């Protein structure tokens, strides 16, 4: 680990050690080391000719429900085959070092929960949950649905079933967005990890936090939109830098 990164890790640990309220925002980058492709990663196979935003939309689903269903079943299988990485585990452990930690994620995988994090705020939903696209009725995935060439149909209205994620052009869940916004306004430190910062309103959260006086820390393998204004920048993989920050924290008191 280079000098600059080691210094930034020590700075981040010092700031976190003095914090009582911490808010964290994660993106696809924190799951990259678990083998879950990021949104930037080129789509593979059948979907290589489509950009993620097109597939993750009502328009995409109406145009070709089978293609979009297949894409989500492909991604669901990737998530289920993946394991949390040291970055997820470091964030779960960080909760024990501060008075309040609010973990906000744009990810639709459950790797934070599998790493032991409690009450994760999923701004963009869950890839493992399903409901009817017409009437909203919940739906429980059957094994045969995974290989199906079309989405299952709703037992109430025959509408197509869709994944429980927020598509582009759709509103985020109110209560979750409000809780995330309040955590950003009230935190002493806002830690951003593994996000490019291009999708709104999630990308607004670190700005809100900094405007309310918080120290913003950005963790990424490359410069992101946050690193332009962040107070501390850790340029390295979150699976290595986050455990290093945790290791640099003073031992938990009591």
212 classed as catalytic: no
- 199 lies in the binding site for ligand BV8 (CB under 6 A): yes
Q: Are 120 and 112 in contact (CB under 8 A)?
A: yes
The single residue among 35, 96, 136, 169 that binds ligand BV8, judged by CB under 6 A, is 169
- Taking the alpha carbons at both ends of the chain, their separation in whole angstroms is 31
Residue 108 to residue 12: CA distance in whole angstroms: 27
Nearer to Zn ion, 125 or 197 (CB): 125
Q: Are 226 and 218 in contact (CB under 8 A)?
A: yes
- 202 lies in the binding site for ligand BV8 (CB under 6 A): yes
User: With CB cut-offs between 5 and 8 Å by kind, which of ligand BV8, Zn ion, none does residue 220 bind?
Assistant: ligand BV8
- 54 lies in the binding site for ligand BV8 (CB under 6 A): no
- 165 lies in the binding site for ligand BV8 (CB under 6 A): yes
Which of 122, 124, 131, 212 is labelled catalytic? 124
132 vs 54, 69, 97, 173, CA distance in Å?
20, 13, 41, 16
- 46 lies in the binding site for Zn ion (CB under 5 A): no
The single residue among 108, 111, 205, 208 that binds ligand BV8, judged by CB under 6 A, is 108
Nearer to ligand BV8, 84 or 237 (CB): 237
104 vs 53, 109, 129, 141, 149, CA distance in Å?
21, 13, 18, 26, 33
User: With CB cut-offs between 5 and 8 Å by kind, which of ligand BV8, Zn ion, none does residue 231 bind?
Assistant: none
Using alpha carbons only, what angle is made at residue 17 by residues 95 and 239, rounded to the nearest 5 degrees?
Answer: 55
> Minimum CB separation from Zn ion for residue 156, in Å?
5
Residue 72 to residue 151: CA distance in whole angstroms: 10
Residue 59 to residue 38: CA distance in whole angstroms: 22
- 134 lies in the binding site for Zn ion (CB under 5 A): yes
- Restricting to residues 207-246, name those near ligand BV8 by CB under 6 A: 219-222, 224, 237-239
Q: Are 236 and 224 in contact (CB under 8 A)?
A: no
Number of helices (H) and strands (E), helices first, in the chain?
A: 10, 9
Instruction: Find residue 168's DSSP bridge partners.
Output: 57
Q: Which range touches ligand BV8 (CB under 6 A), out of 60-68, 141-149, 151-159, 192-200?
A: 192-200
User: With CB cut-offs between 5 and 8 Å by kind, which of Zn ion, ligand BV8, none does residue 33 bind?
Assistant: ligand BV8
Residues marked as catalytic: 124
Binding site for Zn ion (CB under 5 A): 132, 134-135, 137, 154, 156-157, 159
């Amino acid at each position: 680990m280079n000098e600059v990164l080691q210094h930034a890790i020590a700075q981040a640990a010092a700031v976190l050690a003095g914090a009582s309220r911490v808010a964290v925002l994660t993106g696809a980058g924190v799951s990259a080391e678990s083998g879950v492709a990021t949104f930037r990663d080129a789509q593979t196979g059948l979907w290589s000719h489509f950009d993620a935003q097109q597939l993750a939309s009502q328009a995409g689903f109406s145009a070709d429900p089978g293609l979009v269903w297949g894409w989500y079943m492909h991604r669901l299988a990737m998530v289920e085959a993946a394991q949390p990485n040291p970055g997820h585990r470091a964030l779960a452990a960080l909760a024990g070092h501060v008075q309040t930690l609010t973990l906000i994620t744009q990810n639709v995988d459950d790797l934070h929960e599998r790493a032991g994090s409690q009450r994760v705020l999923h701004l963009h939903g869950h890839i493992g949950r399903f409901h009817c696209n017409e009437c909203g009725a919940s739906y429980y995935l059957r094994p045969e649905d995974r290989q199906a060439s079309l989405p299952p149909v709703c037992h109430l209205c025959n509408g197509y079933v869709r994944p429980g994620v927020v598509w582009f052009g759709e509103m985020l869940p109110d209560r979750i967005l409000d809780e995330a916004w309040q955590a950003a306004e009230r935190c002493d430190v806002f830690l951003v990890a593994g996000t490019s910062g291009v999708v709104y309103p999630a990308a607004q959260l670190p700005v809100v936090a900094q405007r309310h006086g918080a120290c913003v820390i950005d963790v990424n393998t490359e410069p992101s939109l946050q690193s332009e204004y962040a107070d501390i920048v850790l340029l390295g993989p979150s699976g290595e830098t986050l455990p290093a920050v945790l290791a640099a924290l003073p031992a938990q008191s009591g």
